[in-house]
Structure 1
């Protein structure tokens, strides 16, 4: 029948118009075959494997090509089999004489056996013929007994007509039944009836065969044996009804006039356990319109009469369980638990060791209560460790549909994974985890190749509610200034981190604020472990907010903290600042209740950042990382490091600073954007002098890929000079100083024939060094030659003295740069700046290559 799927498509489309949409499939794409580009049809096939249009039931039984002759030689012959011309009888004599005879019924219906004479057997049953042969042998042959069995069966011709796959005359075995005749003819057509296949004999219908009885109940009592000349007639099918939803076998079913909903549900295999019996939806055609009726089969028992074209939809029960509580997050056994009257947290979480993961935060947990209408939620906060130990104040009483949310005490996945227990894993466990990791990465890569839209791909990988959570992030940013909260990639966070588990709760609370005008959210910032937005628990105070944020850092100032509170008074927002003792609040002596939109700021101990670290490398006597006080200078640290070695080259010292590196990186990005705009502008206004697209892209890539150095030009000789601090600088955290060895070379780079380095010679001029490099190239800008000094400063020689004998312009460690003539390429002035930046950064990186 597969070969005829194209022919059947047209008729199936008409039937499928009756079919309602099935519930969405929960099957996920788990195919791990080699990556290749899929066609839209293949992708739809994979993503909707269980979400197909309904097909008429029973037609896939007939598959394969028809055969003109299908003998049944090895099947047992029934006792009522009627012998006819051509049947063969096998007779075996034993006793005084042993021999066997194969006798064939001749054209006159006789069976001739030696010593027994002719016997008229045509029209007799097989059992009657066996009795006749035994009786004749007993009469005529003394001392000899016989055994009778069927030999070769005769062939006969039958007719299969009507809606057969290939109607016509077929030569079949005499043991062929009605169902076998259907297979011989290749099955039925798309519009054939399976409920009333008729066997006609001598002009009369002798059998009505319902194929559903065979397919559904295994009842073959109506599957009659055929006789020569019989006609198997397959009429067109009757009325169809569609069964969709929560049944075992959704499909299109052919019904008879007296069949009810109960009968059709039995055809569909019965209802699934989650089927909703109180409201079965029936769509039908009535008075020229499409009408809907609702049937309660729990009350009516399914005696509802169906009509052709009806679509019966069995809906599912609500997924939310009743009289249950849920444990979510860092628990050994998360999931649903039976709720009982008077149930408390300890009844669910029996002990720390048996119920909680090693990474569970024992100081912070939430109970999310659902309102009776299930539209709003409220939050209760509790101390997990105290609740599990049975402390009454923390061991909260639970209500139906409550959710207990448990968090990890780590925010980052890396910190959560770095446990001592990880070293207890066997080699096979480690290998299995590595295989699982590879498989997850492969599946991600597979999906990335299926979907071109990178933003949608990220939504699939990071979070199913990514769009909603992005909207939430924007809303919370508008409510609270969250600029001090560090932004991180989604894969940074641990599975049960506050960020992951709080997102759906915050989103729900944010929606409640929109509906009711209340906002049960607070913002905690400052010297806490995890600053951010948190739900405000019922009667929540300062100690609750600190526990929600993971507790205090070591640098927290306990004597004073501050709450920024915004109230709406007579239609206007009024902001107030409330100061309090954090130490007393945490001790329970002066805890202050919080309200929605409060902003708790935990201050830092003054001068806490007094200790900072700097690093000295290169030619110092004791290189390494030094902890210093704020306010100390570079000269002080060099003295602590024992000063410089005899091989130090102070004039070539490279001093880098973190904030300068970040500022330099931002300037490079701004310059890249500026260059892009100028190129675009010139391509519109100056069609005769534009840059090729490939050159522009290469330039922008080079500019973007430049590594920011963050170098600060210093006079190390001045810093090291005795009794003066005019050139000394105060140090910051992360500062680095690299002092190279003595250099006695001069380098030349840029638009010269051979960029290289040369031994320093005080008698050689700038022109001599350029000549040694083979002279300038055609695109060199000879009027803008400049020198990057060993200390990083830039010197542009005066034009009048470029090629004079002033050799003092060049010193050891200097780099001569011959830039590209930007006018030769384009009129964009930014090109000159770009090339200078590239050269200068290259010189700086070369100078600190030992870092």
Structure 2
């Protein structure tokens, strides 16, 4: 019974806790939703960055992004202008967070885009001392003074005792007697304002300054210290403050945090204002009143302190003082090119000219002859133009907006000269006037490449349209043509002859060290261009050099003029070469010498007497010839298994340039003094030349790679190129090497026969040892290698591999022999004839192609097509009747 009651009680407790949790979550969600329900009433200018931050966090708590937050505000009725401001403020805050992101700290907190999970806005709070202020508060002049976290207005207590300090109850006074008599007293001021001096009695000091209290104490102590009195005293006293008292000051009115504050007795009005957060948005900064015993004792003007450093009214506060910040009476806004824009408070009797003291004055871009004042008068807005002579007498009213205009972005006496002059730029138009010749003289004359036959004078018309006037500049400078007077904003353009003609160049290609395009020079010959491009290669011929020249007259149908030339092999200048100078845009072709051939290598591996690389001796050298040069095959060779590996058309071997570069690298490596012996002077010079050439080759290679990458990036492969689309087909068809089946035994017995192939560069002949195995691969149960048997056929070997798999395509089984030949299975009258086996053969069983069964949609399509055909046939039959 007790257990049952206990279970019921436990169930009740759990149920109650669950309900309380649900209610709490609902209330919390409702509170967050309520915080966004009145978003349409927000005024973005009145929100601080901290409030924007809270708005973002509340939106994220409700699953809203910042864009959705702006959209929600528009849906709830927020004006479009306010919504745009909200979006801009959110973006600026997020950009500030991004620019001040920090990497994840050592504490291991998770970070999002570089911000710690705890608070992603913490970085800009630390960097912006005015993070909590709204845009309007930041504009109020003087408002930041009391909201700067880096500024401290606490009074300094480590100062000499002020003689004007008024002593009050709770102060500690340190009295020193020195001279003929020595004594020190530690005295506390009683609530009645008295101190008790031993052997003297109580002395009234409350309400007195330090100076007055010192005189009173000296008179009292004179009764026991006679040396204090007289014309020549020998005993002296000094009164100092020890621990000072605290005072209560009431801060009331338009303050951020009004109330009664406990301050040190050294505190001034500014200390009290800082403790109370300073005046709020509606508080006055220029008429802060201090009342003491119901009397006005001081009026503080914060602007005087900010603009002039004047703080004579910043008096020391006393106990029970009342500081009142009244509402602001007249506040105006000034914007435009001044040193300090914002909202400024104006006192009675101040004029527009006085306001510039607090703004810092005009900037250099300000239009100072007139300002525009927007004013509310008679319940409507009006605009007042104030000329500069009225700045000292124009009175300001509350709500005035003072707009400072900007100086015009135009010049009153500027002329310019550009192009081929020594010193182009801007020049002043003198009062006496300036001409084209005078402007060229100011620019220190023309450059040698200047095209003085014609220049252009660009002028700005009265309606600010552009006009151009052609000039005979050469005639103006020589005096044969009348000079032209210049006007304001004239621009003289002197062209260069290189600006009005195509750049001249010549090209060279073929058997040359550095083919390419080179600048054209007058009287340049083919030999000069060959020297410029690094000289001829060993494979080049000095005869039949071809020059392709542009045709100026295309009416004849000719596309180029072809000229052939022979130069001296040692590049000595001949009369023929000198009489055939190059012309701009010529293209020179250096041909390969007909008798030049680079060595071509083949390789022999395996069972020959001298395996290795062999150079092809003649164009018709065959397999039998090179086997003979290799000493013939050994007694362990298996000729039937010999194979030939040959390069395909897709083989990408090293180019001649790359082979030459590889040779240079080997020479450089062998000349390197760090890894080889020290070389003589000739070897050192050779080492430097080769190193320079290789560096230039690497630079060219890098530039080509960058250009190729850029080309591939913008290249669009054609859709019909199936060879490139099918990667497997590409792999098969674009192999760089292939096996070529040969019968080496027959070749050696019948040299020069059709089987004895002519060798090509890169051929690899492999002569294996006697082979004794057969390999089974593909769709067999156990792919393996087994011993060759003369009595076994293909099925016997398949059986040794466990037989065919279910996916085996038996009829397509084929055999690859050791020499690279292959034979397939044949069918005759339904019988499968399998190929014969030889040592080293490989049996390949391919896989059945995957068949895709037709689904319901396919059958429906076929049925629809048949029905359409039937209807068409029926229609044709009916029409024929």
TM-score between both structures, scaled by the size of structure 1 = 0.51
Q: Which residue of 2 aligns with 1:612?
A: 600
Determine which of 264, 284, 288 is the counterpart of 1:173.
Answer: 264
Residue-pair matches, total: 568
Q: Residue 516 and residue 227 in structure 1: after superposition, are their counterparts in 2 closer, same or farther (change >3 A)? A: farther
Q: Which residue of 2 aligns with 1:771?
A: 799
Give the deviation of 1:309 after TM superposition.
7.0
Determine which of 528, 532, 539 is the counterpart of 1:555.
Answer: 539
What CA distance in whole angstroms lies between the structure 1 residues aligned with 2:176 and 2:807? 113
Is residue 96 of structure 2 the alignment partner of residue 7 of structure 1?
Answer: no
What CA distance in whole angstroms lies between the structure 2 residues aligned with 1:528 and 1:741? 48
The answer as to whether partners of 1:767 and 1:802 remain within 8 angstroms in 2 is no
Give the deviation of 1:548 after TM superposition.
6.2
Q: Residue 534 and residue 115 in structure 1: after superposition, are their counterparts in 2 closer, same or farther (change >3 A)? A: farther
Q: Which residue of 1 aligns with 2:631?
A: 642
What CA distance in whole angstroms lies between the structure 2 residues aligned with 1:802 and 1:652? 35
Q: Residue 804 and residue 785 in structure 1: after superposition, are their counterparts in 2 closer, same or farther (change >3 A)? A: closer
Q: Residue 260 and residue 185 in structure 1: after superposition, are their counterparts in 2 closer, same or farther (change >3 A)? A: closer
Is residue 589 of structure 2 the alignment partner of residue 625 of structure 1?
Answer: no
Give the deviation of 1:84 after TM superposition.
3.5
Q: Residue 611 and residue 88 in structure 1: after superposition, are their counterparts in 2 closer, same or farther (change >3 A)? A: same
Is residue 646 of structure 2 the alignment partner of residue 656 of structure 1?
Answer: yes
The answer as to whether partners of 1:197 and 1:233 remain within 8 angstroms in 2 is no
What CA distance in whole angstroms lies between the structure 2 residues aligned with 1:744 and 1:281? 108
Give the deviation of 1:798 after TM superposition.
1.0
Q: Residue 71 and residue 746 in structure 1: after superposition, are their counterparts in 2 closer, same or farther (change >3 A)? A: same
Q: Which moved more, 1:777-786 or 1:73-82?
A: 73-82
Is residue 623 of structure 2 the alignment partner of residue 579 of structure 1?
Answer: no
Give the deviation of 1:809 after TM superposition.
1.1
Is residue 829 of structure 2 the alignment partner of residue 745 of structure 1?
Answer: no
Q: Residue 38 and residue 198 in structure 1: after superposition, are their counterparts in 2 closer, same or farther (change >3 A)? A: same
Give the deviation of 1:773 after TM superposition.
1.0
Q: Which residue of 2 aligns with 1:480?
A: none
- Matched residue of 2:636: which SS? coil
The answer as to whether partners of 1:672 and 1:704 remain within 8 angstroms in 2 is no
What CA distance in whole angstroms lies between the structure 2 residues aligned with 1:209 and 1:825? 90
Q: Residue 592 and residue 179 in structure 1: after superposition, are their counterparts in 2 closer, same or farther (change >3 A)? A: farther
After TM superposition, the structure 1 = structure 2 runs for residues 82-231 of structure 1, keeping only pairs within 5 Å, are 82-93=166-177, 100-130=184-214, 132-134=216-218, 136-137=220-221, 140-142=224-226, 145-158=236-249, 166-177=257-268, 180-181=271-272, 183-185=274-276, 199-202=288-291, 206-210=299-303, 213=306, 225-228=316-319, 229-231=321-323
What CA distance in whole angstroms lies between the structure 2 residues aligned with 1:661 and 1:703? 14
The answer as to whether partners of 1:618 and 1:739 remain within 8 angstroms in 2 is yes
Note the aligned Cα RMSD (angstroms). Answer: 6.4
What CA distance in whole angstroms lies between the structure 1 residues aligned with 2:538 and 2:243? 99
Q: Which residue of 2 aligns with 1:439?
A: none
The answer as to whether partners of 2:102 and 2:114 remain within 8 angstroms in 1 is no
Give the deviation of 1:822 after TM superposition.
0.8
What CA distance in whole angstroms lies between the structure 2 residues aligned with 1:561 and 1:29? 67
The answer as to whether partners of 1:137 and 1:145 remain within 8 angstroms in 2 is no
| 1:647-705 residue CA offsets vs partner (Å, 9 max, x unmatched) | 33442424131634459xxxxx9999749979xxxxxxxxxxxxxxxxxxxxx689869
Larger Rg over CA atoms: 2
- Matched residue of 1:767: which SS? helix
What CA distance in whole angstroms lies between the structure 1 residues aligned with 2:365 and 2:305? 28
The answer as to whether partners of 1:648 and 1:742 remain within 8 angstroms in 2 is yes
| 1:170-217 residue CA offsets vs partner (Å, 9 max, x unmatched) | 32222234554465346787x699x95764313576332359959xx9
Give the deviation of 1:543 after TM superposition.
6.1
- Matched residue of 1:799: which SS? strand
| 1:571-623 residue CA offsets vs partner (Å, 9 max, x unmatched) | 99963144354746885845734425x54433333343432233333333333
The answer as to whether partners of 1:66 and 1:186 remain within 8 angstroms in 2 is no
The answer as to whether partners of 2:155 and 2:271 remain within 8 angstroms in 1 is no
Q: Which residue of 1 aligns with 2:790?
A: 762
Q: Which residue of 2 aligns with 1:795?
A: 823
TM-score between both structures, scaled by the size of structure 2 = 0.50
Q: Residue 571 and residue 748 in structure 1: after superposition, are their counterparts in 2 closer, same or farther (change >3 A)? A: same
After TM superposition, the structure 1 = structure 2 runs for residues 357-396 of structure 1, keeping only pairs within 5 Å, are none
| Unaligned 5+ runs, structure 2 | 1-46, 56-81, 228-234, 346-351, 376-400, 410-417, 424-442, 453-495, 654-716, 855-881
What CA distance in whole angstroms lies between the structure 1 residues aligned with 2:572 and 2:211? 101
What CA distance in whole angstroms lies between the structure 2 residues aligned with 1:66 and 1:805? 103
Give the deviation of 1:796 after TM superposition.
0.6
Give the deviation of 1:103 after TM superposition.
2.9
Determine which of 719, 723, 737 is the counterpart of 1:710.
Answer: 737
Q: Residue 213 and residue 629 in structure 1: after superposition, are their counterparts in 2 closer, same or farther (change >3 A)? A: farther
After TM superposition, the structure 1 = structure 2 runs for residues 267-346 of structure 1, keeping only pairs within 5 Å, are none
- Matched residue of 2:502: which SS? coil
| 1:698-727 residue CA offsets vs partner (Å, 9 max, x unmatched) | xx6898699945114141514444432423
Q: Residue 164 and residue 76 in structure 1: after superposition, are their counterparts in 2 closer, same or farther (change >3 A)? A: farther
Give the deviation of 1:762 after TM superposition.
1.4
Q: Residue 574 and residue 787 in structure 1: after superposition, are their counterparts in 2 closer, same or farther (change >3 A)? A: same
Give the deviation of 1:748 after TM superposition.
1.0
The answer as to whether partners of 2:774 and 2:842 remain within 8 angstroms in 1 is yes
Q: Residue 605 and residue 113 in structure 1: after superposition, are their counterparts in 2 closer, same or farther (change >3 A)? A: farther
What CA distance in whole angstroms lies between the structure 2 residues aligned with 1:28 and 1:572? 68
- Matched residue of 1:611: which SS? coil
What CA distance in whole angstroms lies between the structure 2 residues aligned with 1:545 and 1:238? 78
Give the deviation of 1:640 after TM superposition.
3.0
Give the deviation of 1:747 after TM superposition.
0.9
- Matched residue of 1:639: which SS? helix
Q: Residue 767 and residue 30 in structure 1: after superposition, are their counterparts in 2 closer, same or farther (change >3 A)? A: farther
Q: Residue 186 and residue 639 in structure 1: after superposition, are their counterparts in 2 closer, same or farther (change >3 A)? A: farther
Give the deviation of 1:760 after TM superposition.
0.9
What CA distance in whole angstroms lies between the structure 2 residues aligned with 1:633 and 1:522? 43
Q: Which residue of 2 aligns with 1:470?
A: none
| Unaligned 5+ runs, structure 1 | 245-249, 271-276, 289-306, 325-340, 343-368, 373-511, 664-668, 679-699, 828-851
The answer as to whether partners of 2:777 and 2:844 remain within 8 angstroms in 1 is yes
What CA distance in whole angstroms lies between the structure 2 residues aligned with 1:563 and 1:71? 94
| 1:54-110 residue CA offsets vs partner (Å, 9 max, x unmatched) | 99699599465999x968544555444443443322224456776543333444544
The answer as to whether partners of 2:602 and 2:761 remain within 8 angstroms in 1 is yes
Q: Residue 161 and residue 653 in structure 1: after superposition, are their counterparts in 2 closer, same or farther (change >3 A)? A: farther
After TM superposition, the structure 1 = structure 2 runs for residues 396-475 of structure 1, keeping only pairs within 5 Å, are none
